Amino acid sequence: MKKIVLGAIFFCLSQAVFATEVLPTQVPVPKDNPLTEEKIELGKQLYFDPRLSSSGTVSCNSCHNVMAGGEDNRNVSVGIEGKTGGRSAPTVWNSAFYSVQFWDGRAPTLEEQAKGPITNPVEMGMPSHKVAVERIKSLKGYEVQFKKVFGGSNPVNIDNIAKAIASYERTLVTPDAPFDL
Ligand code: HEC
């Protein structure tokens, strides 16, 4: 009995110690999406660009305002044409450290996650990733930038859009901030 009690106390203490640990100084970066200055810049542009939504009015930043704690301070988010979803937007700050994304962990990486909201009917409302890619292609300047960052004959595609956005998100970190102490 004593052992169990001691064990339980030790477990609680170890959890407490773990919870107050500061964040690592380096974010995990997948091998197939190395961070580069230009890719981060491109991702930042896409993150703030409402033209990535069907109506041209909703960007990632609409719901994950990086100047307001990385979220929208609402119980449920408001997306395209004022439509509301069933969940509140979690902050994007430090999401690069999570092993899974979304409240239910259904996206394994930031790259996979970023593809979701673009076609979500109550978020950015694009009918398909193909349409989203066409939209980006039609905007002056993006094609040149994608070519520079990713190379290849067809650089503007949904995987590269997601890779760029995820790279920008990996810069939204607060390692060793006083908040973590
Ligand atoms: C209309 C509002 C809205 C827009 C636009 C939106 N999101 Fe979200 N986002 C949410 C909501 C709500 C969730 C939680 C959904 C869930 O868990 O099922 C979420 C979850 C996330 C998460 C998971 C964070 C965590 O803690 O698990 C990330 C990362 C994220 N969004 C990034 C993005 C990016 C990148 C874009 C743009 C491509 C974007 N979001 C566009 C509302 C939005």
pLDDT, tens digit, 9 for 90 and up, residues 161-180? 999 999 999 999 987 666 55
The DSSP code sequence of 77-105 is: -B-GGG-B-SSPPPP-TTGGG-SSBSTT-
Which residues does the annotation mark as catalytic? 123
Mutate to test the pocket of ligand 1, among 53, 77, 88, 129 (most ligand atoms within 8 A of CB): 77
The answer to whether residue 12 scores a pLDDT higher than 80 is: no
pLDDT, tens digit, 9 for 90 and up, residues 13-30? 555 555 556 778 789 999
pLDDT, tens digit, 9 for 90 and up, residues 90-113? 999 999 999 899 999 999 999 999
Q: What is the pLDDT of residue 172?
A: 95
Query: What is the whole-number distance in angstroms between the Cα of residue 153 and the centre of ligand 1?
Result: 30
Query: What is the whole-number distance in angstroms between the Cα of residue 136 and the centre of ligand 1?
Result: 20
Q: What is the pLDDT of residue 104?
A: 92
Q: What is the pLDDT of residue 22?
A: 72
Report percent pLDDT > 90 for the chain: 79
Rounded distance, CA 12 to CA 4, Å? 12
**Average pLDDT of the residues of the chain:** 90
Name residues whose C-beta falls within 8 Å of residue 135's C-beta, 6 or more positions apart in sequence.
51, 52, 126
Q: What is the pLDDT of residue 162?
A: 98
What single-letter amino acid sits at 162?
A: A
Q: What is the pLDDT of residue 174?
A: 86
Report percent pLDDT > 70 for the chain: 85
What's the pLDDT band for 3 if we cut at 50, 70, 90?
low
Residues with CB under 6 A from ligand 1: 58, 60, 62-64, 77, 79, 85, 87-90, 92, 95, 98, 101-103, 110, 113-114, 117-118, 123-124, 165
Query: What is the whole-number distance in angstroms between the Cα of residue 38 and the centre of ligand 1?
Result: 23
- The answer to whether 64 and 92 have CB atoms below 8 angstroms apart is yes
User: Looking at domain 27-180, which of 1.10.1370.10, 1.10.760.10, 3.40.50.150, 3.40.50.720 is its CATH number?
Assistant: 1.10.760.10
Position of tokens 């994304």?
Answer: 101
- The answer to whether 158 and 133 have CB atoms below 8 angstroms apart is yes
- The answer to whether 44 and 32 have CB atoms below 8 angstroms apart is no
